[in-house]
Amino acid sequence: MAKNRIIPFGYCMKNGEITTEPNEVYAVAEIFGEYLEGKSLLQIAKLMESEKIRYNSDSDHWNKNMVKRIIENEKYLGTDKYPQLIDEDIFRQANEKRVRKANSLCTISEGLSEIRKVTYCAECGEKVFRKTNGKGREYWNCENPDCFKFEYRMTDQMIMGAVITVLNSAAANPSLIECGGEVSTYSPTSDIVSQQNEINRMTDVSQIDFERIKSEIFKLAEMKYDCCTYSDSQQKTEKIKAVLKDHEQLNTLDIGLFKACISRIWISHFCTIEVEFINGIHIKNITERNDKNAHSSECNGNPCESADNGKP
């Protein structure tokens, strides 16, 4: 196992004093320069290995954490004990870039944040979570431990692209979000029929108990009311149409439009993304897996087709 360095890379001990190590000083300057030119920490680590530069006396192996420690080491600016190796301006630029990159990996856009709140697994109905792996690549998966993992890696771009495609298709073809159905329905139960018959019998006798009949009529009205169903899907459909009317085709997610029109997103284990509108209509968007790194998304059919209304 390689020993940890006691003296930072770029320095060595001579005659009891810390001084510079010329080969390592060159490497430090190269690391800062390559980082500001756009190379990643891992790419720089591989460059150091290819140039046979030893990080310590025991090993010429490099990793991105070694490079990161060099970039953030303030001793290179010079102290009482350590000679200056890096110009202050170069050091500042490199570390500002490092902080920006670190922050960008820890945050997600407002649009993705809203999508994450309403995304569910199509197989089990549990929420879907978003995480990043060790390389900073994001992936989405069902958070139910009893459910299967997604067949392929689901990315932000795939989900965002599917939602934008569905919204654009609904704006271009409003018939996709038509829900149909009746606003109100009434289907009497056997208890209601029995209650009506009982009231008829009570009014068909010579001695009528008006107070009791009134009570039974109120009871019947309550039973009928409980059997009535009301659907506001038509009003919601009109609301969606009004919001989408004359709306320009989206290239990026309009958060206000998304929140006004969409209630949930359903992701299956086989890269099918289904967008549920606030009126209950589902529109599928098939995300095709072309190879292990490339994906494309387009609506199921051209244009999109509505899936079955409602979700169990």
List per-residue pLDDT tens for the chain, 312 residues long. Answer: 344 568 899 999 999 899 999 999 999 999 999 999 999 999 999 999 999 999 987 778 999 999 999 999 999 999 999 999 999 999 999 999 988 877 665 556 788 889 999 999 999 999 998 887 766 678 898 888 888 788 888 888 899 999 999 999 999 999 999 876 555 566 788 888 888 888 888 888 888 888 888 888 888 888 877 777 667 888 899 999 999 988 889 999 999 999 999 999 999 988 789 999 999 999 987 544 433 333 333 444 334 555 554 444
pLDDT of residue 27: 96
With both helix axes pointing from N to C terminus, report the angle between 22-37 and 88-106 in degrees, rounded to the nearest 10: 50
Residues 280, 309: Cα–Cα separation, whole Å: 6
Does an H or E element contain 288, and which? strand 282-289
Q: What is the pLDDT of residue 102?
A: 73
**What's residue 247's pLDDT?**
85
Q: Residue 173 is which amino acid? A: N
CA distance 261 to 263: 7
- At 132 the pLDDT is 78
User: What are the distances in angstroms from CA 272 to CA 109, 182, 295?
Assistant: 23, 30, 12
CA distance 301 to 284: 9
- Specify burial of residue 128 (Cβ count, 10 A radius: 0-12, 13-18, 19+): buried
**184 SS3 class:** strand
DSSP bridge pairs for 130: 140
Q: How far apart are CA 287 and CA 300, in angstroms?
A: 9
Output the pTM of the full model.
0.51
Q: Which pLDDT does position 307 carry in this prediction?
A: 56
Instruction: Return the pLDDT at 17.
Output: 92
pLDDT attached to residue 87: 95
As beta bridge partners, residue 264 has 276
Distance of CA 184 to the CA centre of its chain: 37
> CB-side exposure of 209: number of CA atoms within 13 Å?
10
Residue type for position 5? R
Taking phi first (over 0 means left), then psi (-120 to 50 degrees means alpha), and beta for anything else, what does residue 125 get? left
Dist. CA 138–CA 113, nearest whole Å: 13
Pick from 253, 234, 230, 250: which is nearest to 242 by CA?
234
Q: Are 256 and 264 in contact (CB under 8 A)?
A: no
Structure token pair of residue 51:
């140039």
| Tokens linked to 161 | 């692209």
In the prediction, which pLDDT does 290 show?
39
DSSP letter at 277 equals E
Contact 233, 282 (CB under 8 A): no
pLDDT at 303: 41
Distance between CA atoms of residues 257 and 242, nearest Å? 11
Burial of 86 (0-12, 13-18, 19+ CB in 10 A): buried
Cα(210)–Cα(87) distance, integer angstroms: 101
158 Ramachandran zone, left/alpha/beta (phi>0; psi -120 to 50): alpha
